[in-house]
Amino acid sequence: MEPLKILFLASHWRVSLIKAFQQAKSSQSMELICVDSDPLAPSFQEADSSQVVPHFSDSQCLPSLLEFCETKNISAMIPLTNRAIEFMAYNRQELGGCSQRLWILENPVIEICHDKWKLYEFLESEGFNTPETFLADKKTTSFPFPLIAKPRRGEGSKNLFILESYGDWDFYKKKCPQHVFQNRIEGQEFSVDCFFDQQGLPRLVVPRERLAVRGGEVMTSRINMDAGIIDRVEALGVKLGLKGPCTIQGLQDDKGKFYFTDVNLRFGSGYVHTISAGGDAPLMIYKELAGQELDINRPYIKNKSVMTRFPENIFLND
């Protein structure tokens, strides 16, 4: 029987995630394939095979990817960046023709979650706590400083600025007209790793405190199975109709109130902590692809476990 073949799109530096998928496939017949525009992508060294394709902006990217998928008989495609999600969503019909499953949600959900202003409007309308947010053309004289200026679209912490005064507001609303301006909540940052099955049921919800962050990527985290956060994240996931892996971010203030800030429709950078602590999302994906039932009971998670990360090197032969 030919193994099921999973393609990770824009895999680049996600070495630890590919390792986790390799470790989970011991009882499954799977082939893991990494695809990226960088021929030196470190994730290639952990994959069973790899392929270089043009940048998403290149008109030859889609034909190249389609040819590769058809040749390799790809079973499923998992995007690992927001740009990869948007590329797959835009080319959903073509890519769906050469893959059993595209691990992306319907386009309206992607548009909500990838646009911070639309996400804010959705959260507000559905009664979820979220920091007060403004657009650059907002006319007001009563801002709750400090504010955080963020690009409406994008990932990580690129082009993020802190505003402390109306002078800052006047400057950044002109410099960054496509940003959103969000009230900064004082409290503990959380990333919540989730997995929703193909019926939209939450199978895994694991809150992680973000103890140290560098360039938007968590470097140290601690699992905190806070029941209140888990309940709110489950409710939001069901309301959005989430399926598959995702990482939802927010902050908890000193009174225990949780505010949603971001919904990442993919594996977050620290998701490997949840996997290591018992939340075996790769195995859940394998089982769903193979048509197997997921366990009724949620996996045991090592609460209060801590992950701390460090850079590693891969040396290639000339």
Looking at the chain, which residues constitute the CATH 3.30.1490 domain(s)? 132-183
- Beta bridge mates, 36: 52
**3.40.630.10, 3.40.50.20, 3.40.50.1100, 2.60.40.10: CATH of 4-104:** 3.40.50.20
Look at the domain 132-183 and name its fold: Dna Ligase; domain 1 (3.30.1490)
- At the topology level, CATH places domain 186-308 in D-amino Acid Aminotransferase; Chain A, domain 1 (3.30.470)
75-104: per-residue pLDDT in tens?
A: 999 999 999 999 999 999 999 887 778 999
CATH 3.30.470.20-classified regions of the chain: 186-308
Question: What three-state secondary structure class fits 35?
Answer: strand
Residue-wise pLDDT for 195-254, tens only, equals 999 999 999 999 999 999 998 889 999 999 999 999 999 999 999 999 999 999 999 999
Asked if the peptide bond before residue 146 counts as cis, ω within 30 degrees of 0, the response is yes
DSSP β-ladder status, 147-151 and 76-79: unpaired
Task: Give yes or no for a contact between 216 and 289, defined as CB atoms under 8 angstroms apart.
Answer: no
Tokens matching residue 100: 């059993």
CA 221 to chain centre: 16
What H or E segment, with its residue span, contains residue 82? helix 82-90
Question: Cα(first)–Cα(last) distance of the chain, in Å?
Answer: 37
For CA atoms 14, 20, 22, 28, give the dihedral sign. Answer: negative
- Cα dist from 9 to 6, 33, 56, 67, 233, whole Å: 10, 9, 11, 15, 26
pLDDT of residue 141: 63
Q: Rounded to the nearest 5°, which phi and psi values hold at 102? A: -105, 120
Give me the pLDDT at residue 155, please: 79
Alpha carbons 266 and 89: distance in angstroms, whole number: 13
The pLDDT of residue 100 is: 76
Give the per-residue pLDDT at 188. Answer: 97
**Which regions of the chain carry the CATH code 3.40.50.20?**
4-104
- The predicted pLDDT at position 126 comes to 98
pLDDT recorded at residue 26: 74
Separation CA 269–CA 217 (nearest Å): 6
- Alpha-carbon gap, residue 98 to 77, rounded angstroms: 10
In whole angstroms, what is the distance from residue 94 CA to residue 65 CA? Answer: 10
Q: Is it the case that residue 19 has pLDDT exceeding 70?
A: yes
What Rg, from alpha-carbon coordinates, does the chain have? 20
Task: Please provide the DSSP assignment of 243-270 as one string.
Answer: -EEEEEEEEE-TTS-EEEEEEESS--TT
- Note the pLDDT tens digit of each residue in 133-189: 999 887 666 778 899 999 999 877 788 999 999 899 999 999 999 999 999 999 999
7: helix, strand or coil: strand
